Structure 1
Amino acid sequence: MPPDVLLAIAMTAVADGVVVFDPAERIALVNPRVGALFRFDPDRVMIGMDMADFLGVVGTAVGWSAARIATVVDNHRRWQARQESVDIDHHFDDGTILHINFAPLPGHCAVITYRDVTVERRLTDVVAAQAAQAERFRKEIATVVTETDAAAAEGQAMGRAGEAELELIVRDLGDVVVAAQQSTAAMQDAAQTSAMMAGMIDTVVDQVGHTSSAASGAMAHAHETVALSQGLSDRAGSIGSILDIIRAVARQTGLVALNAAIEAARSGEAGRGFAVVAAEVKTLATQTSDAVARIEPQISAMQIATRDVVAANRAIVHDIADIQARAVIVTDTAHSQNERILAITAAIDETALTARAMTDSVEHLEVRNQRFISLARRIGQQLESVHALTHGLSVATETFQATY
């Protein structure tokens, strides 16, 4: 088989599009793959076609403007003049990517190779994207692991602190329970004392009532005594009047006896008997005056004493009335105090019930806190497990990144 036939068969079998230009910039060799890659009829390109015409066919097929086609032609000629090897990628609108290699050849113009690298580039992009995603995943996992580890450590510290705080709370609650129990006992004692005070006040009220009754009786007797004393004083005054009459009678009797003695003296012997009678009458008048003089101070003293008795009895009546008024005040005050004590006793009883309820609540709270302490310890253990898991996840992530 002639060599040119073998070359044509080989060029047809090549997967890349190949165009060889001679030094005159004309196509010396081209395979049909070029037309397939640029999506034009391969018959439009033939041996001997000028490079500018070939690039015009390619540019028209891919939708380039005339100005861009001219720029592409100038670039190819510049690469050829510089003997510069160039590799570029051309991206079609449908996502197809062609890799173009311009390679100058000694004795020829150049060889242009066109290769469909869409799959390769996409695979490279996918691999790069996966690598970037894997790196982001690693960083995110590392961040999550770090934050989780820190949170677990902080949670452990908080759990230990909370456990210690709860133990203090439980201890304080125990003290509160003891204090509440003591307070309940004290309030019960206070309630009993208040009840005793109420009983004592009732007794005082009864005694004051009896005293008031006795004072009422004494008041009646005092009024009777005042009346009797006043009567005695009045009679003493009457006695004074009688003494005045007796004194006047004695004075008149003395005058009569004096006159009788004078007349008896005038009568001489005949009036001697009458003179004796007159002397006796005078003596009687004198004795009467002396007796009145002796009785009068006693009567005056008796009148003064009687007036004092009347005044004293009236003072007693006033004092008894004051005692009765004070007894009424004491009774009212005692009733008021008794009502207050009963109210205080009821409040103490209610407070004692509340204290007992509070004691029960605190005891329940103490039990719940014990359960919470146990739960906090379990949470701490779980956080330690989380810490171990995050460490294992970090190691697995690093292993995954190193493997893939």
Structure 2
Amino acid sequence: MLSSMESPELLALITAHIRQGVVVYDADECIMLVNPHIAHIFGFEPSAVCVGSTLTEYLDRIGAAVGWSEDRIKAILENHRAWAKQGEPRSFDHNFDDGKVVEIGFHPLAGGGALLTFSDVSHERRLTAAGNRREELTREAGSMLQKVASISQQNRIVAFNVRIEAARMGHEGRGLAVVADEVRDLSQQTSDVLRDVSRIIDASLATI
């Protein structure tokens, strides 16, 4: 059966994606190759789609398995035909209701038809989403730290002004001066902690 596939490029593509789901159909939209991973990915019996089936039958079978409407199946069929005319490879994700994500690759063949590849990328997409969320939260934390640092700076200014006023008051201002010094020291300690936390956030962002 493979002898009817004339293109070495096709064989190279199939070899490169052999652990993935693979479907190959010709210019007449007749399936020339389909591996067992397809049935596992979409949840139908392996015998339901075989060599000699048409692209329409293949899409109908997938649609029945995953709950596509007739209109959606027709739209997907038209997409295949449009992509084949454009002659450009493309890839996109299909998101299942159970959270599984399958990356589908469309590779047009020189003589017509296409090689389709299917890879379960659920884990990779979850990691990407988690990383993006972590980065977002880290940046939000950094923004909050900047606000706290600004408040700490304002506290030091207030403490400085209070210290000046306490000096003007002389003996009666000693208690006020002590409070001002404590506020200044606490503000400095806060600034030191903020710098340490900021370094940790920067390191986290660099790791992401």
Task: With the length of structure 2 as denominator, give the TM-score of the two structures.
Answer: 0.81
**Corresponding letter in the other structure for 2:69:** S
Shift of 1:391: 3.8
Shift of 1:79: 1.0
Using the alignment, how far apart are the partners of 1:394 and 1:127 within structure 2?
19
Secondary structure of the structure 1 residue equivalent to 2:103:
strand
Q: Is 2:40 aligned against 1:40?
A: no
1:252 aligns with none
User: Does the Cα contact within 8 Å between 2:166 and 2:177 map onto a contact in 1?
Assistant: yes
Q: Give distance in 2, aligned partners of 1:392 and 1:155.
A: 24
Give me the whole-angstrom Cα distance separating, in 1, the residues matched to 2:62 and 2:134: 35
- 1:100 and 2:120 aligned: no
Gaps of at least 5 residues in structure 2 are 4-10
Q: Is the CA contact 2:88–2:107 (under 8 Å) kept in the aligned structure 1?
A: yes
Match of 1:88 in 2: 92
Aligned length: 197
Q: What residue number does 1:163 align with?
A: 166
Greater CA deviation, 95-104 or 390-399? 390-399
Matching residue of 1:373:
177
Distance (whole Å) between structure 2 residues aligned to residue 403 and residue 46 of structure 1: 47
Quote the sequence identity (%): 29
Give the superposition deviation at 1:371: 4.1
**1:382 matched to 2:203:** no
Query: How much does 1:19 deviate?
Result: 0.3
Unaligned runs of 5+ in 1: 171-368
- Which letter does structure 2 place at the counterpart of 1:167? G
TM-aligned CA deviation for residue 21 of structure 1: 0.6
Between the aligned partners of 1:400 and 1:379, the Cα distance in structure 2 is: 31
Q: What corresponds to 1:151 in structure 2?
A: 154
Instruction: Tell me what 1:31 maps to.
Output: 35
Question: 1:77: how far off?
Answer: 1.1
Look up the match of 2:64. Answer: 60
User: Aligned partners of 2:117, 2:47: CA distance in 1, in Å?
Assistant: 18
Superposition pairs for residues 93-242 of structure 1, below 5 Å? Answer: 93-148=97-152, 150-167=153-170, 170=172
Whether the aligned pair in 2 keeps the contact of 1:159 and 1:376 (CA below 8 Å) is: yes
Verify the 8 A CA contact 1:159 1:380 in the aligned structure 2.
no
CA RMSD between the two structures: 2.7
1:76 to 59, 74, 80: 80
Contact 1:86 1:103 (C-alpha < 8 Å) held by counterparts = yes
* 8 Å CA contact 1:86, 1:102 repeated in 2: yes
C-alpha distance in 1 between matches for 2:203 and 2:73: 52
TM-score normalized by the length of structure 1 = 0.44
SS in 2 for 1:20: strand
Kindly state the Cα deviation for residue 146 of structure 1 after the two structures are TM-superposed.
2.6
Displacement after TM superposition at 1:380 (Å): 2.9
How far is 1:160 from its partner? 1.4
In the superposition, relative to structure 1, how do residues 140 and 64 fare at CA in structure 2: closer, same or farther (>3 Å)? same
Q: Alignment partner of 1:71: what SS? A: helix
Distance 1:147 1:402, change over 3 A: farther
Q: Which amino acid aligns with 2:164?
A: A
Does 381-390 or 39-48 show the bigger shift?
Answer: 381-390
Question: Per residue, is there more strand in 1 or in 2?
Answer: 2
8 Å Cα contact 1:163-1:373 kept in structure 2: yes
Aligned amino acid, residue 160 of structure 1: R
Q: Are the aligned partners of 1:152 and 1:384 in contact in 2 as well (CA < 8 Å)?
A: no
Deviation track 1:263-296 (CA, whole Å, cap 9, x = no partner) reads: xxxxxxxxxxxxxxxxxxxxxxxxxxxxxxxxxx
Question: Secondary structure of the residue that 1:88 maps to in structure 2?
Answer: strand
Partners of 2:165 and 2:193 lie apart in 1 by 24
Select the structure of larger CA radius of gyration.
1
Q: How far did 1:110 drift?
A: 0.6
